[in-house]
Amino acid sequence: DAGVTQSPTHLIKTRGQQVTLRCSPKSGHDTVSWYQQALGQGPQFIFQYYEEEERQRGNFPDRFSGHQFPNYSSELNVNALLLGDSALYLCASSSTSGGGRDTQYFGPGTRLTVL
């Protein structure tokens, strides 16, 4: 049973560029959440997708957008990259079958470096 997968593993971009990160949820999961983890900090919630719609959003600017596809996979897009966007981006999947309160399982993350 495959866990949560993310691609790419590492990415280097320059300021002002745009980036797309991808996530495939664990088998049987229908909800995907994205988190940003700066060095030495705990993960910060960006947003959550369910049924192809953004269900909840954290305190991140509109430069951060996402999408969920019919197969439950998801993309995180960041426009106009800033140096401060350098971080580990974590994707987590969960299931709504348990009343929506199921545990989130995380992928290995994408390390984004903005130069």
Partner 1 sequence: AQKVTQAQTEISVVEKEDVTLDCVYETRDTTYYLFWYKQPPSGELVFLIRRNSFDEQNEISGRYSWNFQKSTSSFNFTITASQVVDSAVYFCALSEARQAGTALIFGKGTTLSVSS
Binding stretches for partner 1 (CB under 8 A): 31, 33, 35, 40-45, 48, 55-56, 58, 88, 90, 92, 94, 100-109, 111
Q: Where are the beta strands (DSSP E) in 51-86?
A: 53-57, 64-68, 74-78
- Minimum gap (Å) between residue 12 Cβ and partner 1: 17
- Minimum gap (Å) between residue 110 Cβ and partner 1: 10
Residue 20 or 108: the one with the smaller Cβ distance to partner 1 is 108
CA atoms of 96 and 30, how far apart (whole Å): 7
Query: Closest Cα to residue 7, out of 21, 20, 26?
Result: 21
